[in-house]
Amino acid sequence: MINRRNFLTTVALGTASAAVLAACGSPAPAQTGSAENPVTINYTWWGNDDRAERTRKAIALFESKNPDIKVNGNFTDFAGYWQKRATEAAGGGLPDVMQWDLSYLRDYGQRNQLLDLGTVKINTDAFDKSLLPSGQIRGKTYGIPTSTNAFAVYYDPAKLASLGIAEPDGTWTYKEYNAFLAEVGAKSNGALFGGTDYTGIWWMFNIWLRQNNIEAFTEDGKLGFAKDDLKKWWNQTAALRGTPAIVSEERVTQLAPKSPFGSNVSATESTWDNFMAAYLGDSGAKELKLVPVPSDDKDNLGLFLKPSMLMVASAKTKFKDAAARFIDFMVNDPEVGQIFKTSRGVPASKTQRDGTTFEGTDKLVVDYEKSIEKYLKDAPEPPIVGFGTLETSFKRISSDLNFGKLTVDGAADAWFKEAEDLIKQNA
Amino acid sequence: MTQSPTLSRRSTPSAPSQPRKSRQRGADARAGYTFLLPWLLGFIALTVGPMISSLYLSFTNYNLFDPPKWIGLDNYATLFQDERFLGSVGVTLSYVVFGTPLKLAAALAVAMLLNSARKGQGFYRSAFYAPSLIGASVSIAIVWKAMFGDSGPVDQGLSFFGINLGGWVGNPSMTMPMMILLTVWQFGAPMVIFLAGLKQIPADLYEAASMDGAGPVRKFFNITWPMLSPVIFFNLLMETIHAFQIFASAYIISNGEGGPAGSTLFYTLYLYLRGFSDFRMGYASAMAWLLVIVVGIITLIFFKTSKSWVHYSGDSK
């Protein structure tokens, strides 16, 4: 006889035991797939819609060439990207393959979260040998760069022409650059800002330090510069803050995560040269050009090629082979180069670079990296553990500076306090 | 469970029926706990367990990756020298102190308007309740950000009246009013509770007061307020605790950064950034426990002071 209680108990027990049995009895997932029964790997990256579109095309191409692997793609913007990865790492569930930045390579690599790519089959023959060490820590390869980026100042020639301002030729001192920013603000009557406060960008500071022959970090992971250097840097634009030369921090905040330059609010922006595609897409401008960053020493621009958009795999991935094949494809395949052009930077692998035709604005990026070749120095080592946090706080404190919440001295104190605390924490 | 036989003995005078009743009760209790079990297991595994481990982690330097190392009270001591922490406390307190009373006042006012029977009452109740259903969602925060941005509807509306504030989102002194407006707008949940409370107040009290010549203000302070005070107390307590926990809207409106100039760096947002951006999970755990303790103390103070102004029917007062 079935009464209600017995029935419910039976159902409950049945469900519970089914779950337990399923947990115990299911075979380990297959390491390799087949065309009928493909394995699925997760791939995640940061970027805007433009990159998402290109990545989807690359994934579709990969899947058509590798019917035994499906790639499940996912993306966010840069800031949210790292919070998500931290959450996943804590739970042991990092995606199989990820786009990675040098800033966070030590944080995850040294803490055994990333797969040593030296243990899987990825062809790196076509890479410049000076480039690979930046993805390596203590002899293990954690990341393979897809491309190289150089820092540059972007400008919109059409906007400058409409204001009657001559295009910069890229040989400028900081004083000249400041004057240029001020001129844009003045001639447009504040309708167009000169550019964002470049002193709020960590890499501009880093380049300026290198122009003065200072390394940002010492080999033993300490700060290589003094508080006075930072004060001097932040004082560089003191006279411009609050004027139309510099995008007001109110606007920067409201536009985030979009950039003022991509939103047609400013005439220039200093950033990595791979932003060309994103800026063109965001702003709708016909043409954007790029020139070297300012320097007070015209023989030392402090520039370097940063290996970027590294491909990494999770140390816990169950599909090492599939992950390796996807990484190999993304860094080496010439057709992938054709899809991304320079939107990840100039392809690092010679196979991919030679297989890509660069035209129009993409050619500008490639030409730019060629034009600065003679100024290039070695890329810095993978930055210290916790560097991503320092980069974020650099931006935040500089923003407080622009809001007038902090003085330059107060800002330098605040950043040094946070940096020293962080270095002590990770020592 | 041990009490049930005693209880049944006292309640059932006839001796022969006792063992069967007791067995019946035992079976009921077993069934009760069986049905409770799924929730209880979840509660222990997903709430109590993590809470205890976070208490432990708050005394360590846990960074998500390496095994935690015991550092005693260091995290708690560092908190009070951390300017961003102190800033986040200030931001959160001003949100709680200004936002909660305003929200409750709005809820009570609308509840009183909706209390009187008139046409379309059901529609109005639903319409006023709707924002609190969708208020906590991501989409509303995004809409809010767009509404209060440069040349958004709010900016344009105010400009029409000659008030030029620009976008509120990027202005450190306008973000707090914006966040408070967002919470006040979601007054639906306390409003429904107020409405239920108002229905409980006997109409004859108002009739008697009218006959004695009391005006609406007098009626409010001498009848509505004391009769409603348990409900007001309940709402105040819940909304205060709720306000301390604000996170999602601040995260979305400030793009996860707590800006501009730290003006939306709420306590929980800073906690999250410390834990998941800076990998200082021990520190974040200490912050979480400090919040639990402070909210606990505030609740205690509310209960202590409630005796002087909350009236339960049947009280001698």
In the prediction, which pLDDT does A92 show?
86
Q: Which pTM value belongs to this model?
A: 0.84
In the prediction, which pLDDT does A10 show?
44
> How many residues are there in chain B?
317
pLDDT band at B19 (very low <50, low <70, confident <90, very high): low
What fold characterizes domain A151-305+380-426? D-Maltodextrin-Binding Protein; domain 2 (3.40.190)
In the prediction, which pLDDT does B266 show?
96
Place of tokens 């990341």: A143
Q: Chain A: residue nearest B67 by CA?
A: A111
Shortest CA gap A63–chain B (Å): 33
The candidate with the shortest Cα–Cα distance to A206, out of A186, A230, A184, A183, is A230
The answer to whether the Cβ–Cβ distance between A90 and B281 falls below 8 Å is: yes
Quick: pLDDT tens for A25-84.
444 445 677 777 899 999 999 988 889 999 999 999 999 999 999 999 999 988 789 989
pLDDT band at B126 (very low <50, low <70, confident <90, very high): confident
Shortest CA gap B149–chain A (Å): 7
- A248: which DSSP letter? -
pLDDT band at A236 (very low <50, low <70, confident <90, very high): very high
Domain boundaries along the sequence of chain B: 83-309
Q: Which residue has the higher pLDDT, A162 or B149?
A: A162
Question: Would you list the DSSP string of B146-158?
Answer: HHTSTTSHHHHHH
Residue B3: is its pLDDT beyond 70? no
In the prediction, which pLDDT does B315 show?
56
In the prediction, which pLDDT does B236 show?
96
pLDDT band at B20 (very low <50, low <70, confident <90, very high): low
Quick: pLDDT tens for A218-234.
888 899 999 999 999 99
Q: What is the mean pLDDT of residues A272-298?
A: 91
In the prediction, which pLDDT does A401 show?
94
Question: Residue B272: its chain A contacts at CB < 8 A?
Answer: 83
Q: Which residue has the higher pLDDT, A344 or A21?
A: A344
Shortest CA gap B68–chain A (Å): 12
Domain B83-309 has CATH 1.10.3720.10: yes
The answer to whether the Cβ–Cβ distance between A396 and B170 falls below 8 Å is: no
| Predicted complex ipTM | 0.81
A401: tokens are 């500076």
- Which residues of A lie inside 8 Å of B (Cβ-Cβ)? 5, 9, 79-80, 82-83, 86-87, 89-90, 107-108, 111-113, 248-254, 256-257, 386, 388-389, 392, 396, 399-400, 403, 405, 414, 422, 425-426
Considering only CB atoms, B257 lies closest to which of A79, A89, A426, namely A79
Domain boundaries along the sequence of chain A: 39-147+307-358, 151-305+380-426
Q: Between the CA of residue A104 and those of A78, A392, B255, what are the distances in Å? A: 12, 12, 20
Residue A207: is its pLDDT beyond 80? yes
**Do residues A285 and A279 make contact, with C-beta atoms less than 8 angstroms apart?**
yes
In the prediction, which pLDDT does A99 show?
96
Shortest CA gap B279–chain A (Å): 7
Quick: pLDDT tens for A402-424.
999 999 999 999 999 999 999 98
In the prediction, which pLDDT does A223 show?
93
What architecture is the A39-147+307-358 domain classified under in CATH?
3-Layer(aba) Sandwich (3.40)
**Do residues A259 and A282 make contact, with C-beta atoms less than 8 angstroms apart?**
yes
Quick: pLDDT tens for A117-162.
999 999 999 998 878 888 888 889 999 999 999 999 999 999 999 9
Helix axes B121-134, B138-147, angle to 10 degrees: 90
